[in-house]
């Protein structure tokens, strides 16, 4: 084999090793961190946009990528249905209707879509469900808020009370299943599926907690493998898998309790007092620490050493707590030993994830902004995308520094994804692929 061919093969092999799938909400392990390098640092609507494609309907699910396929969901709103209304909610023993609840009086179609990551071509779309939703959503949100998860063979889409739907990567329906009717205070479902050793795991927390459960379905068939009731009220968080020595733990956020389960059986392993707030944030993991947080009505960050047993509240396994800096919706991120908390206006606090020591606080983005999407990180940088569609590139480390401000030119309400040297951003109307060009 000639030297030129050998060198070409080495370069190709290295490129393939650097490419990384983004298989679920917030990518590998649900942590928002990519190992890819040489990503685009600058973009505008007219610069470094490899492609953009219009997406029908409304959706806040984030892009999920496997090889060169991108998967998202969307909800298409139809005509009003006379007499249709959402399930009744009870708060403190009285009927409750959230002032921003909408949607359960209209027909809807929920779809799963797949695009070619290289060109933006629509490869397939499937109408997973059509009808009148069981519950409302927040007027600012979407009935397609949970992101899909994929193992490279099947794609799993969760639409709350309307069910779980599995497709192969070419779009062929494989199975559909119900996890039950899940009331969400009229604000919509948001927890995304997690895949573990042939199981699809879902956190299904209900208004008053009477029917709250963590549920595992067999990935190949959709058959329910196990279901464990949870002593918590409604949440919108996605659980995470945590390595704790010889075992793996499934850690869940909750207002009343933070609970870890055996993902193979659903058996509870440990618990500690919860965040006492709306449990929306996804837990983050790193350096032997699990961090669970919330931002409304109370701001709470709790660092826990995994591997415990029983109720660990008040024990040495609670490493530290912090009571400032968190957002209502935006999850924090752990990157290279630092935990970055982001509030609703994009103000950043950086802490040592092992000790809780504040490295800096009050780090600001250069223009006024609001955030719903969570930060992601790669190649020494933190990327934060605002509702205006501006992505602020922050240098990772103990000193706050904004490297660049980029824009796709339309509102963005979800979290970007990274794969194959590209950054994928789902805007209000379009899906964008950003690449160095």
The CA–CA distances, whole Å, from 112 to 133, 140, 225, 235, 343 equal: 17, 21, 25, 24, 31
Confidence category of residue 15, pLDDT binned at 50, 70, 90: very low
Non-local (6+) Cβ contacts of 93 within 8 A are none
Confidence category of residue 18, pLDDT binned at 50, 70, 90: low
Cα–Cα distance for residue pair 41/61, rounded to 1 Å = 24
| Beta-strand relationship, 402-407 and 417-419 | unpaired
Pick from 253, 303, 257, 298: which is nearest to 277 by CA?
Answer: 298
Residue 258 near residue 272, CB atoms below 8 Å? yes
Cα–Cα distance for residue pair 130/151, rounded to 1 Å = 26
All structural domains of the chain with their residue ranges: 21-434
A 10 A CB-CB count for 213 gives: 19
pLDDT value, residue 72: 98
The CA–CA distances, whole Å, from 366 to 363, 378, 380, 401 equal: 10, 21, 20, 10
Mean per-residue pLDDT for 102-124?
Answer: 98
Angle at 396 between CA 393 and CA 398, to 5 degrees: 130
Q: Decide if pLDDT at 368 tops 70.
A: yes
pLDDT value, residue 3: 43
| Beta-strand relationship, 310-311 and 268-273 | parallel
Angle at 157 between CA 59 and CA 97, to 5 degrees: 55
Residues 43-57 have pLDDT tens digits of: 999 999 999 999 999
Mean per-residue pLDDT for 51-79?
Answer: 98
Q: Decide if pLDDT at 300 tops 90.
A: yes
CATH class of domain segment(s) 21-434: mainly beta
Residues 419-432 have pLDDT tens digits of: 999 999 999 999 99
Cα–Cα distance for residue pair 293/28, rounded to 1 Å = 20
Residues 399-411 have pLDDT tens digits of: 999 999 999 999 9
Q: Decide if pLDDT at 260 tops 50.
A: yes
């Amino acid at each position: 084999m000639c030297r030129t061919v050998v060198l070409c093969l080495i370069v190709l092999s290295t490129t393939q090793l650097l490419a990384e799938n983004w298989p679920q909400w917030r990518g590998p392990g649900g942590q928002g961190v990519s190992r890819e390098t040489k990503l685009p640092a600058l973009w505008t609507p007219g610069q470094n946009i490899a492609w953009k494609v219009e997406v029908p309907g409304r959706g806040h699910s984030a892009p999920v990528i496997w090889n060169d396929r991108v998967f998202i969901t969307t909800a298409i709103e139809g005509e009003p249905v006379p007499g249709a209304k959402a399930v009744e909610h009870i708060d403190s023993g009285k009927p409750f209707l959230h002032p921003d609840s909408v949607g359960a009086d209209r027909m809807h179609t929920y779809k799963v879509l797949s695009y070619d990551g290289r060109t933006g071509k629509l490869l397939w779309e499937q109408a997973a469900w059509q009808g009148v939703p069981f519950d409302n959503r927040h007027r600012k949100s979407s009935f397609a808020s949970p992101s899909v998860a994929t193992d490279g063979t099947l794609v799993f889409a969760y639409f709350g009370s309307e069910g779980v739907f599995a497709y192969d990567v070419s779009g062929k329906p494989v199975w559909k299943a119900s996890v039950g009717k899940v009331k969400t205070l009229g604000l919509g479902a948001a927890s995304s599926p997690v895949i573990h050793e042939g199981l699809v795991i879902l956190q299904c927390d209900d208004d008053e907690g009477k029917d709250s459960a963590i549920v595992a379905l067999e990935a190949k068939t959709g058959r329910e493998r196990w279901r464990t009731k949870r002593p918590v009220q409604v949440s919108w968080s996605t659980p995470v898998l945590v390595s704790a020595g010889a075992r793996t733990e499934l850690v869940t956020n909750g207002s009343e309790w933070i609970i870890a389960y055996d993902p193979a059986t659903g058996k509870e392993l440990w618990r500690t007092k919860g965040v006492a707030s709306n449990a929306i944030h996804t837990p983050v993991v790193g350096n032997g620490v699990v961090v669970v947080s919330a931002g409304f009505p109370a701001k709470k960050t709790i660092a826990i050493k995994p591997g415990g047993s029983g109720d660990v509240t008040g024990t040495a396994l609670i490493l530290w707590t912090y009571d400032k800096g968190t957002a209502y919706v935006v999850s924090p991120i752990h990157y290279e030993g630092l935990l970055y908390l982001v509030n609703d206006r994009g103000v950043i606090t950086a802490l040592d994830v092992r000790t809780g020591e504040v490295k800096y606080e009050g780090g600001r983005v250069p223009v006024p902004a609001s955030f719903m999407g969570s930060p992601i990180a790669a190649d020494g940088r933190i990327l934060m995308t605002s509702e205006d569609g501006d992505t602020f590139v922050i240098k990772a480390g103990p000193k706050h520094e904004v490297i660049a401000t980029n824009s796709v030119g339309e509102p963005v309400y979800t979290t970007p994804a990274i794969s194959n040297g590209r950054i994928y951003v789902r805007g209000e109307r379009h899906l964008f692929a950003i690449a160095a060009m």
